[in-house]
Every structure is written in structure tokens, then in C-alpha cells.
Chains A and B, each alone.
Chain A
């Protein structure tokens, strides 16, 4: 029998559903996880996997469903690590920090965001497909996942992908589970690729005179054909441009010099204290919303301008074409959406919404024509519709 969850999690339930879970369990193994899934299916309960809970509020609110919360944090082991193959197999509840510590001993790391100090689990990062500023260099979690196991609502445990860096046997199901927010099954094991730790990581932070100059300098750096492992502009209390380089001493030193030279032309000479990418709180604050708008580098400035009237803070990942922003509710969110799409936004997600908006607004804004296929995929992988019903895009 699985142990029960930490009571502290109770504050998270309003992020998930319109009611607390009928029950919450914390399995310690794949076998226990399978038992819990089977039990939930028998009792007709919805199932919501929970890691550290930092991104539960990103998906839609589940309404009218009795549900089981499955706390994965006890499944926190590193199961197999082969530094020479540069692959690692983990349980999904291991925290990113704990995993990185193990990998660092062998001089390696997994490209799964920056240390956040919030105990984010690897399973949660994969399920949210969440990456930080290093996306421009290493891609998304989808690009790190080699294989996985999941318990499905058919009662089966499936395993897809493999443990080698190249593998095209069968459909690449891992891509679907990355970013699925727990709606296609309970991930019970993950195999990831890892990379050699660079000998040096160095960050240049520059205070910008204003949004325009900061972004122009950022764009110039993007076009300078350097190899930054992070290139972000942050706005809020002032503007800052942060660029990170990693690698050997020689290449990092050379790039820092180039970056200083390129940015000098934009009035950003002052070296500022390292900026921290703002990240939304686990439990949404009332009175604000957070969004994540995806686009291409050349449209970043337009998006930031479109946000300006209601911007409280933002981070623009210039090379990755992504803006993450906290906005005030000074104007209807529909108006803001319209402005963003007019400025070249490809799609956006409302990653935190005030409770008043959650019932009515889909957290995903994507072309409606894709929804029937997504619904069909959901039906194929979660035929019983047990995993977070209504939580996904289009309330799938």
C-alpha cells in the first residue's frame, strides 16, 4: 500500500481541480504505481500525477471529476547511470537537483533547466516540457528524453523508445508525453541523454537603457554567430540582457569579449548583477496572469511591445523565440491575446490564471484545427479518459 502524501500539498489542489482529491497516494515503486492506477480505474476516479507541484497550475482546471492525486516524489531513485554511454535511467520523482548532483560526480549534466531551488522533479519537467534559458543551446526536455515507461488507463504498463541516443524503432511516443501534463498516462521511468559538463560557465549581465535597446543588443548577439548557452532579456524593475557561455576557458573568454564588443554599441556597457529569470509561483497570485508566448527571434520585440501596456515582468528568450511574462489584468486578456497574435505570436499558453479566469479560459491558445487530432491521440493513449480529464488543450 502506498503511503499518503505530504499535507503541504493540499495548497496545490485548487490549481488542479474544483475539488480536493478523493484520495492522495505516494507510491514508492512501479509496481505500487500500477496498483494505484488500477485501483483508480476500478473506482472510476480521474488520475493526476503530481511531482513537486510547481507547474500544476499550467494545465486547465479539472471540473466535476472525483480524482486521485498520485504523488511521485517517493519514486526518486537513479536506477542506472552509464557515464560512458552518456545515458541515465531514473524514476520520475527524482528532483532535478539530486540528479544533477549524481551526474556532476562523473563530470556530466542533463539539460533540464537551471537549478530552481524548488525541488522540481524530472518527471514534472518532462511532463511540462519545461526548459529554462539553455533551450537555445540544448533544446527542450523533448530533446533529452530517450525512452520511458508509463502506466496507461488500459491497465498496461508500456515502454517506448530505448536507452541509446539514436533509435527510430516504432512511433516516437516520448514526444507526445513531453508537454502532456500527465494527461496520457503515469510516467514511471525515464531514460535521458546526458552531456559533458563544460569546464567553464560564465555569464555576462548588462543593464539596458530600455526595452528597445536591450532587445536590439540581444538580437545583435543572436546574429553574431556566437554559441551562447543562454540569451535572455529580462524586464521588470529595469531592463537587463544576460548571455551565458559554456565550454573551454579559451572559447568562453573569447565569446565574452565578442559579446561585450557587440553589445557596447547599444549603450549597455554597465555590468549588472546577474539577473534571475522570473518564474511563476506554484500557486497563482490573485490579480495577475502569466503567459508563455512562442514565436521566432525577429518577432520577439513586437511581442514585447504588445505586452508593454500590461507588463509587470518578463523574460524574453531571444534565440529560442519565447517570451514568458507576468501581466496585470488591467485590460481584458482577449485584447492582449489579439495584440500578441497580430505581432507574430505563433501560439501561447496561459501558465497562471487567476481563479476567476480558469473556469472559462483555455490555458492553451493554439490553432483549433489541430485539436481533433490531439483528441484522437488522447483517445488512443488514454482510452478510459482517466488521466486529468479536461486538463489539456481544448479541455481534452
Chain B
């Protein structure tokens, strides 16, 4: 079925598979396998089904909610080696790839056609498109171009009984129940995706990238609300606060003012005509909200540098403290100033170190708490503060997660958003795909099904 080099059983080698980038929960796999084709993957799943062994799909393990953590042991099925682009049709704006294909590989493959793959998580040079499908991942440019769910038209799925089914088609329009739509964001609990057809996006003709420097987070968040309310749709609208600014300065000497309290990175794109006027409007709105300066990237290099800073902004915190938890709550965007202030209050009241680097334009917060997990009291305070922040997001009409998924991390927070009847319906959908409950057990849905998962 598999060659020896596709199977890991050594406990040291398997350490890396005990969790994803959310390290608070861990689980020890009994075996890790690296299938190289849909058939191999299906054969492994069939074996698991026959033996009643739980299995957990895994991409490259960059997930931030413990989705790929084998909570109940069993087999970790890593899709990483299935990493090829299979076909490209530029005129139809379609590309088909194996699920283990790295996100940025897709964009590189279609660059010669002037196209790109729009969902651009900060982890795009490391994460897989299968992982993106599982988490419904998104990125800065989601604000204008949409999330993974808006860019996937077909999937090859290995069902939890080991059978293989093709869902969707090359066409935009789904047919019958939109099973592709259901699978996107299902966090590897309904089967293993082995191939994906994605929609490609033409590169914009013109791009303007602005960096606005603010002396207060409040001013920056009011500027964000005003830009959105003015009917301007930037392609990205990102905020970073002072702890991030200083961490970036320490690491890369970007040249950001260390005493700034917030940076807004605003990008506008389009065909050209009218773009400068729109950029000027954004600039004016920032100035009206007391921006200390607003500068436009003068060259492609400068633009790339700003985006480098944004995409390194979370990773760089590794230099500040050994551990971090990145939260992912979403709020109605008009409430940004108020909610950010309340989150600051929560952090202060529990004495936790918290910073913000997030997709301001769509209200997707990433309060990032840094800590040292060896300090039991700090860890406890971090978890309490985390929970309060989630409650706050839900209380103001938002969500506990905008892009990182529920996984194991937020599973027990699901009742904040959903009634028992809602969760029961989700459990029935899960059972429709996975009656034996072997596929990534213990994720997303709390309660009966999680408890009834295999020992």
C-alpha cells in the first residue's frame, strides 16, 4: 500500500505531528503516513475504517486552532507530498492542484499568465491549499476578493469510509446541494480532500499602497470605520499596533516610528482611471483622523517591503516571548474603536501581554497574547483573557472565528454562538459523512459527538 519511507512510527520523528501551530493542546499519533496519490490516501482511510482507528488529515500543520492535532491518536494522514499543480486553464481562470500544493506555489505557477490565486493567508508560503479549503482560509486581500469559499469550484474527496467522490465541477455554479461549499471550512471532519480546482484572479493593472501612521489606536480604528462607511473598497486594510511595530523594528529595522501607536496598511487596486482620486480620498480620511503621516509606496520594492512587514508581523513575536496564541474573533466593523478599547481593558485586568495585528477592514481581529507556557499562572490568565475576548466578540454580534477555524481550541466556545439545536444539526451533517466518527474526532462540535469519540 505504502513504501516504508511514507510511514513514520518513531515517537521522536512523530513529535512534529502532535499539534499544529496552536500548541496548547497536543495528541500523540500512533502512526503518520504520507500518501502520494488519492488512491493511496483512500487505501489508508479504508484500512482505518475497517479497523475502527481514528485518523486526522494534515497539511503542513500551520493551523492555529488545533485542527490537525490527533486528539485521540490513531493515524495522521499528511497530504504534504501531494503537492503538484495538475492543470491550468488561463482563459477559464481555473487551476487544478493536489491538495498538498502550497498556496503560494499556485500564484507562482500562474504568474506568467498575469493571474494569481486571491486567498493570501500570511502563511501562504507554508500552508497547503487543502488546509486552506479545510479552514476556509483568507488573507488581507479577502476584503475585496473574498475568502477561500469564493474561489473553489471542485474537490476530490476521500470519504471517511475510504470511497472517493468528485464534488462540484469547473463551472462557477454549483449543482444540487452545494457540497463543495459545505466542505470548505469543515476542518477535515468530513473527509480528506486530495485535489482542488480553484478560481484564478487577473492581477490588477494598478495598485496603490499607503502606510498611515497614527498616534492612537482609537484614531486608526475610527479611520478604518470611516473608509468602509465611505463606500471605498480597498483590496486590503490592515492594522498593526505598537508592540508589533517595535518587534518588527527589532527584527528587521523597517524604519517605522517606534513611538507610533498604530499603522494602517491600505491597498487599493483597479484598472487605473480614478484610482488616484480614490487613493487621495483614503489619504484625506486618515489625515482627518489625525494620522501623523500618510505615505504611498513609491515602488514595487517598497510595496513588497510593507507587505513583508505585515506578513512577518505575527511570526516575529516569537522573539518577544516563547509562546503566543493568536485569536481570531470577528466583530461588526463599525464597532472597531469600542471593541479594541474593551479588549485592551481585558488584557490589563488580567495582566496579560496583548498586541493587535489584523484585518481591520473586515472586522477580523487577531488579538495576539504572548506568554511563557512554563509560567502556569500566566498561562491560566491567558486562557481566561482569551475566553473573555471571545465572549465580547459574540456579545457585540460577531463570531469566535473569522478564518482560523474552531478546531479544538474554540470547540467548547461554540455554545456561545450556537444553540443545542444548531449543534445537533451540525452533528447530524457530520454523521451523514462520517457515521463511524473516525474522521478527525473531537473537532468543531462540542458535546455528545466529541465525548463519544473513540478512546
Q: Which residues of A contact B (CB under 8 A)?
A: 82-87, 107-108, 129, 135, 139-140, 142-143, 152, 154, 156-160, 162-176, 178-180, 184, 195-197, 219, 222-223, 225-227, 247-251, 253-255, 292, 294-298, 320-322, 346-349, 364, 366-367, 369-371, 373-374, 376-381, 383, 392-394
Contacts and interface: CB of A to CB of B under 8 A. Distances in A.
Contacts of A84: 225, 228-229, 333-334
Contacts of B274: 247-251
Contacts of B185: 168, 171-172
Given A162-B399, A298-B89, A377 B271 contact: no
A176 B401 CA distance: 20
Interface residues of B, number: 88
Nearest to A366: B175
The DSSP consensus for interface residues of chain A is mixed
A173 B182 contact: yes
Interface of B: 89, 91-94, 114, 135-136, 138, 142, 146-147, 149-150, 159, 165-167, 169-182, 184-186, 202, 205, 225, 228-229, 231-233, 270-274, 277-278, 330-334, 359, 362-364, 397-406, 410, 414, 417-419, 421-426, 428-433, 444-445
Given A82-B334, A129-B174, A320-B172, A369 B166 contact: yes
Contacts of A222: 91
A376 B431 CA distance: 9
B175 A364 contact: yes
Contacts of B173: 129, 135, 140, 292, 294, 320-322
B363 A164 contact: yes
A263 B29 CA distance: 60
Given A175-B182, A298-B92, A370-B165, A152 B175 contact: no
Residue among A156, A157, A223 with max Cβ neighbours from chain B (10 Å): A156
A365 B251 CA distance: 57
A379 B225 CA distance: 43
23 contacts: A84-B228, A84-B229, A87-B332, A139-B150, A142-B181, A152-B421, A165-B333, A166-B138, A166-B147, A170-B406, A170-B423, A170-B445, A175-B182, A176-B178, A178-B181, A179-B176, A179-B178, A247-B274, A254-B271, A296-B94, A298-B89, A373-B165, A373-B433
Contacts of A248: 273-274, 277-278
A376 to B, nearest CB: 4
A166 B403 contact: yes
A108 B232 CA distance: 11
Contacts of A250: 273-274, 277
Nearest to B176: A393
Contact of B419 (A86, A158, A169): A158
A222 B202 CA distance: 11
A371 B170 CA distance: 18
B166 A171 contact: no
Nearest to A143: B150
A176 B177 contact: yes
Contacts of B176: 179, 364, 366, 370-371, 374, 392-394
